[in-house]
Amino acid sequence: MIQRSTGGFSAGQEGPAGLDAAAKAGILVEALPYIRRFWHKVVVVKYGGNAMRRDLASPGGDLACFAEDIVLMRSVGMLPVVVHGGGPQIGDMLSRLGKEARFDDGQRVTDAETLEIVRMVLVGKVNRDIVGAINVHGPLAVGLSGEDAGLINASAHRGDLGFVGTVDAVNPEILEHLLAQVLIPVVATIGSDAAGQAYNINADTVAGALAVALKAEKLVYLTDVEGIRRVPDDPATLLSRLTVDQLEDLVSDGTVTAGMIPKASACVSAVRGGVGHAHVLDGTVPHALLLEVFTREGAGTMVGL
């Protein structure tokens, strides 16, 4: 397994704001080849619910920082598409409403009532928070769900899970239309079938499917850990670069577990489906997305062929 160098800023270190002018210029020069390389390239960014603080829209909060990164990417010619989860936020709402959350093999059992709550939280709350945070910087973001314009065609993943869906097909036309207008789509991961029945779909899976459909250059997962580790509970064993074959081996031997499994599977499928690289990194670290995209050292795990 090839390791990228471990230089650059780490969480807690003083960032570019504390540098002198020459050092700041050096950072910009380092970013220049990446800006050129990714000009007009699609980058799908999955922003996980675990990467969001409760003070979502507060200055300096995770969401405000994330929005700055997305706007900067768009400002230098990249075409970001945001796909978001919201598991913790859904769990909070279910608890407030006195409804017990049930899981089976890591999947939220979703009856009709739970589905309505999921739609309310993802489409009506989390999606609007992200769109609003981005649009602080200008009229840039457009919120939608997989139900809009036939974006995500879905079917039941497993009968005993209720309205939990799997992606059958992606029609990226609405996203391509928005990107052509240099807008930033923000996608809530609710899909629907031909009869209009809605389904709650794993956001990691949706992000991977959209990245393939859009022929994205990059697929980035922002979560609450810094990447994929050789030893799951030891941050010092971060693997900064993996091939898809190596990542599959880590899933097979049990190194990759729990919530990292759908991310790893989506990374493998996306890269084999034509996406340039997939990345997993800690979205709670300020500007980790920019460090991963615009520096040699990166900030998490990069997966390629």
Note the pLDDT tens digit of each residue in 166-177. 999 999 999 999
In this structure, of 94-98, 158-162, 251-255, the range with the lowest mean pLDDT score is: 158-162
Residue 17, pLDDT above cutoff 60: no
Q: How far apart are CA 72 and CA 67, in angstroms?
A: 9
pLDDT of residue 53: 53
Per-residue pLDDT averaged across 137-160, rounded? Answer: 94
Strand, coil or helix: what is 240? coil
Question: What integer pLDDT is reported at residue 299 of this predicted model?
Answer: 84
Kindly list the structural domains of the chain, giving each domain's residue range(s) and its CATH number in brackets, ordered by start.
40-304 (3.40.1160.10)
pLDDT in tens, 177-236: 999 999 999 999 999 999 999 999 999 999 999 999 999 999 999 988 889 999 888 888
CB 118 within 8 A of CB 81: no
Separation of alpha carbons 200 and 178, rounded Å: 24
Please state, in angstroms and rounded to a whole number, the distance separating the CA atoms of residues 58 and 251: 37
Largest CA distance in the chain: 60
Question: 102 pLDDT exceeds 80?
Answer: yes
Q: Considering only 106-110, 217-221, 266-270, which range has the smallest mean pLDDT?
A: 106-110
Cα–Cα distance for residue pair 84/193, rounded to 1 Å: 20
E strands along the chain, which residues? Answer: 42-47, 79-84, 103-104, 107-108, 141-145, 152-156, 164-170, 184-188, 190-192, 198-201, 218-223, 241-243, 277-282, 301-304
Q: Are the C-beta atoms of residues 280 and 227 closer than 8 Å to each other?
A: yes
pLDDT of 9 over the 50 cut: no
DSSP one-letter code for 229: B
Averaged pLDDT, 127-150: 96
